[in-house]
Each structure stands twice: as structure tokens, then as C-alpha cells.
Amino acid sequence: MAADAPGSWSAAPTSSPGPRTATTRSRVLFLCVHNSARSQMAEAMLRAWAGDRFEAHSAGNAVSQVRPEAIAVMDELGIDLRGQRSKDVAEYAGQRFDWAITTCDENQEACPVFPGATHREYWPFDDPSAAAGSPEERLATFRRVRDEIAARMREFIARPT
């Protein structure tokens, strides 16, 4: 699923499976190197679009800060990242997750691993933080990656549980 134009995603999900209670929500941990953009956007999307079914978290190998460009492009969807913080994967040691989803490119980066998950998936996305160019060109890269994550997230949410 692709957006018609950059920024054309809405914060509302396209489909809404039946409600689930807090005790039956699946726990999902999104992982990337710095937990500053890709995994932060994925965490916020899942929480905004399917928080009734999923408990979303994110972490990385090296604590950083949430990138201002990620905040800006998520604002365009009506999703606020300002309350999120970069977290080290060690904060989740010993916890159980239903899903651990790696959002970085394992061929290009030292992606974190989380062994305490029932299911593991690999969603390779370019690192928008590495984008060069003018501020407008960098934001365009963040939007592209955001839209790629959004498409993958909608597929994940639409899966039968």
C-alpha cells in the first residue's frame, strides 16, 4: 500500500478489527540502532492506529534523542512524538514481547537483537538520519521512510490475530 502523495496518510486506521482489552494486547518492540527515528515512528504509529490491540515500545543499541525531523513528519500525520524518548534495549531485558521487529538495515548497520520475543520480523528501512542535502531534502527522506513504515504497519495491523 502506498500513499497517493507524501504526507497523505491519516492518523486513523483504514480498518479496525474488534476491540481487545488491555490484558490481551500483543506486546511489540520495534528496534533500530539509535532509537531516534524509524523505531520511534513505528512505535507511535502502532500506538495511534491500533493501541487497543497492541502495546507498542521501541529501543536501540545506543541511546540518542528523537530526531526533530521525525517529530516534524509525524506531526503531519497528527501523531506527536514529543512524549517519546530514546531507550536502550537493555531497559527491556527479561521482559516478554509477542513481536520484536527490527527496522534497520542489517546489511548496513549493527542492529539490536532482542531474544525475548515469540515472533521476530525484519523490516529493513533506510536510515533517514543519514540523509544528506538541504533541510527540505532531508525532510523528504524522512517522509519517504515514514510512508514506507506506515505501509508496512498497515499490513501488520491488518493481519488476523
CATH number, residue 60: 3.40.50.2300
**For residue 42, is it within any domain?**
yes
| Active-site residue, from 104, 139, 149, 150 | 104
Is residue 127 within 8 A of residue 38, CB to CB? The reply is: yes
**For residue 7, is it within any domain?**
no
Is residue 44 within 8 A of residue 79, CB to CB? The reply is: yes
Q: 32 an active-site residue?
A: yes
**For residue 49, is it within any domain?**
yes
pLDDT tens digits, residue range 30-39?
A: 999 899 999 9
**For residue 70, is it within any domain?**
yes
**C-alpha dihedral, 71 to 31 to 53 to 153, nearest 10°:** 70
Q: 159 an active-site residue?
A: no
Residue-averaged pLDDT of the chain: 85
Per DSSP, the three-state class of 153 is helix
Is residue 154 within 8 A of residue 8, CB to CB? The reply is: no
Structural domain harbouring 88: 25-158
**For residue 10, is it within any domain?**
no
Q: How far is CA 5 from CA 11, 141, 155, in A?
A: 15, 14, 19
- pLDDT confidence of residue 38: 96
**For residue 6, is it within any domain?**
no
Is residue 54 within 8 A of residue 25, CB to CB? The reply is: yes
Q: Which of 3-7, 29-33, 143-147 has the lowest mean pLDDT?
A: 3-7
Number of domains forming the structure of the chain: 1
**For residue 103, is it within any domain?**
yes
| Active-site residue, from 32, 33, 70, 73 | 32
**For residue 150, is it within any domain?**
yes
55: nearest Cα among 88, 103, 95 = 95
pLDDT beyond 70 at 160: yes
